[in-house]
A and B are shown apart, each in its own frame.
Chain A
Amino acid sequence: MENVEKKLREEAKLLLAEKKIDVLVGYEAGTLPMTATPCFITAPEEADRLVWNAFCVQNLAKFVQDLISLHRESQQRVKPEARTRKVVGVVARGCTTRSLVIQLQERQFNRDDIFVIGVPCGGYVDKRKVAAQVAGQEIREASLAGDRLSVKTAGEAKTLSLGGILADNCLTCRFNNPVLSDLMIGSPASAMAPESEYAGVEAHEKLSPADRWDYFEKEMAKCIRCNACRQTCPSCYCRVCFAEQSQPQWVGVSEDETDTQVFQIMRLYHMVGRCVDCGSCVAVCPMGVDLRTFLKKLDKDAFELFGNRAGSSLEDLPPLSQFKEDDREDFIYDPQKAK
């Protein structure tokens, strides 16, 4: 990890000095222990702020799309001959590159508008799992060494093995190496355990419909509609989200529980073939809503029905933007068979 970070800073300096990129989206150390926040580096001398470690959580593709669309919008007000192009560099792990692929498939920007610095990823730390290990006490200090994390709370010091505190989505990650990159830093990361990625969904499918509904109701009752999941999601880039649209008003803004459920159903459903399981929504949720159980189901269906793995290939189209004549029809109601 150390030398990935060092190499990353060197490359960033070089890229910025050579004006190959105008801004680099990366991570810098956060103000609290065990955090890294997204940062925007525009000058070579700032590149030393960059970090790369297991505390880097958020998917940075969100900011890439944001920066480019804001820039394009600002260029609308400039004379055509004075318009500039902005190249956004991004430090990207496997899931971030998949999100970039989705945005490229959806024509949000051109391939040459971005410069992808690929980094291998060994997964990130789930803060909730660490909190559970230290009985919810405030963590004063944390340091990583190899695959061990040492944390200090007011009362005790503990060393945790990284395997036990990685986020669920990282443990079963299929794409922990970038699928798209202009420059690779470090050697490819070793594989995780993708064969069990749908284990949670399969277990949930076996429950009775009533139990599944109870679970859904219970999880959605936690939701406070803060929209953090939407704000952080790299696939949620609509200028006006259906949740805020007023003509027609798709979903009520009251605290009515069905409004929350409908909001979540539709936000989740928009992720068919577009969710890369980066875990950003789960990580930022202040109420700890289990969104992943539902998102993973959509991912599983997109794979089972259409053979799609979201964002895995630039040549492929998103599953709901295409069709085949022999798509499965077993869900179609037939009055003859129903008798």
Chain B
Amino acid sequence: MSENQAPSSWEPKIIAIVCNWCTYAGADLAGISRIQYPPNVRIIRVPCTGRINPFYVVKALQAGADGVLVSGCHPGECHYLTGNLSARRKFATLKRFLSYIGVEGDRTMFTWVSASEGERFSQVIKGVTEAVRALGPARKLVKQL
């Protein structure tokens, strides 16, 4: 078995850092509406995507996350008016930089899900889980304890 081959029991671990006002409410709606999505995601709620230090993403990768998803309100719908617009600039450069050094692009994902988009939330989680599953377990940057 080559090193990158995942053992059959392996399931991707995905950290989703989501904003309180849109995506978290969207996830809630998905739950209330009984929409199924893969259980691979661990959700961390933050006040706003603008509050997310890009370090959180790198740190999650180092702590062994196979993928990191950041999701907030659509541009123009931020609860704090412009938090997600600042965040967009940070994540655009962060994603490019991480793929430049060689971390697979699909390990870090950024998206917008509004409070009314329970269906979209489930699709995002499905899509991200599949993309990360295709990449296999994370080996780069992971701190071995």
Q: What string of 1s and 0s marks CB contacts (under 8 Å) between A299-330 and chain B? A: 00110011000000000000110111101110
B123 and A262 contacting across the interface, CB-CB below 8 Å: no
A146: Cβ under 8 A from any B Cβ: no
On whether A213 and B101 interact (CB within 8 A), knowing A320-B89, A325-B76, the answer reads yes
A272 touches B101 (CB 8 A): no
Tell me the smallest distance from the CB of A215 to a CB of chain B, in Å: 8
Chain B: interface secondary structure?
Answer: helix
In the bound complex, do residue A265 and residue B58 qualify as a contact, i.e. CB atoms below 8 Å apart? Answer: yes
> How many contacts between A and B, using CB within 8 angstroms?
118
- Interchain CA distance A328-B141 in the complex, whole Å: 28
- Nearest Cβ on chain A to B91's Cβ, whole angstroms: 7
Instruction: Given A250-B59, A332-B111, check contact A294 B92 (CB 8 Å).
Output: no
Distance (whole angstroms) from the CB of A10 to the closest CB of chain B:
45
Residue among B62, B95, B124 with the highest chain A CB neighbour number at 10 A: B62
| A238 touches B (CB below 8 Å) | no
Given known pairs A265-B58, A327-B92, A333-B127, the reply for A210 and B85 (CB within 8 Å) is no
- The contact size tier of chain B is 35 or more
Is residue B36 contacting chain A, with contact meaning CB distance below 8 A? no
Min distance, Cβ A292 to any Cβ of chain B, angstroms: 13
**A268 with B97, Cβ < 8 A, contacts A209-B104, A333-B111 known:** yes
**B90 partner, pick from A204, A298, A320, beta carbons under 8 A:** A320
Whether A338 pairs with B127 at a CB distance below 8 angstroms is yes
Q: Please pick, from B58, B86, B111, B124, the residue contacting A262 in the complex, using a CB distance under 8 A.
A: B58
Q: Does A72 contact B (CB under 8 A)?
A: no
Report whether B112 and A298 are in contact in the complex, using a CB–CB cutoff of 8 Å: no
The answer to whether A209 touches B102 (Cβ under 8 A) is yes
Q: What B residues does A323 contact at CB under 8 A? A: 82, 85-86, 88-89
In this complex, the interface size class of chain A, counting residues with CB under 8 Å from chain B, is 35 or more
A237 lies within 8 A of chain B by Cβ: no
Distance, CA A211 to CA B90, complexed state (A): 25
Taking CB atoms, residues of chain B closer than 8 Å to A338 are 127, 131
Contact partner of A265 among B88, B101, B110, B126, CB < 8 A? B101
Shortest distance from the beta carbon of B88 to any chain A beta carbon, whole Å: 6
Residues of A within 8 A of B133 (CB): none
A214-B102, A258-B62 given; A320·B96 CB < 8 A: no
Contact check, B111 vs A334: say whether CB atoms are below 8 A apart. yes
Q: Which listed residue (A204, A297, A322) contacts B97, Cβ 8 A? A: A297
A333 to B110, CA, bound (A): 6
Residue pair A327, B85 in contact (C-beta under 8 Å): yes
Kindly state whether residue B75 has any CB partner on chain A within 8 Å. Answer: yes
Most chain A beta carbons < 10 A, residue from B90, B104, B143: B143
Q: What residues of A have a CB within 8 angstroms of the CB of B75 in the complex?
A: 325, 329
The answer to the question of A261 belonging to the interface, with a C-beta cut-off of 8 Å to chain B, is yes
Is A112 interfacial (CB-CB < 8 Å)? Answer: no
How far is A210 from B27 in the complex, measured between Cα atoms in Å?
A: 35
Interface membership of B142, Cβ < 8 A: yes
Interface residues of A in 203-240 (CB under 8 A from B): 204-205, 209-217
In whole angstroms, how far apart are the Cα atoms of A217 and B139 in the complex? 12
| B29 is an interface residue with CB less than 8 A from chain A | no
B76 neighbours in A (Cβ, 8 Å): 325
**B82, A331: Cβ atoms closer than 8 Å:** no
Closest to A210 in B: B102
B140 interfacial by beta-carbon distance below 8 Å: yes
B10 within 8 A of A: no
Question: How far apart are the CA atoms of A329 and B88 in the complex, in Å?
Answer: 8
B62, B91, B100, B112 interface centre (most CB from chain A within 10 Å): B100
Q: How far is the CB of A248 from chain B (nearest CB, A)?
A: 9
Q: Chain B's nearest CB lies how many Å from the CB of A150?
A: 41
Residues of chain A within 8 A of B104, CB atoms compared: 209
Taking a contact as CB atoms under 8 Å apart, the answer to whether B128 and A333 are in contact is: yes
25 pairs, A vs B, C-beta closer than 8 Å? A204-B100, A209-B99, A212-B102, A213-B140, A215-B102, A216-B102, A258-B62, A258-B141, A262-B141, A294-B101, A301-B96, A320-B86, A320-B89, A324-B85, A325-B85, A327-B88, A328-B92, A329-B88, A331-B96, A332-B112, A334-B111, A335-B111, A335-B127, A336-B123, A338-B127
B contact residues vs A (CB 8 Å cutoff): 54-55, 58-59, 62, 69, 75-76, 82, 85-86, 88-104, 109-112, 120, 123-124, 126-128, 131, 140-144
Known: A258-B143, A325-B75, A331-B91. 9 other contacts (CB 8 A): A210-B102, A214-B102, A265-B58, A265-B101, A269-B94, A305-B93, A320-B93, A327-B89, A331-B95
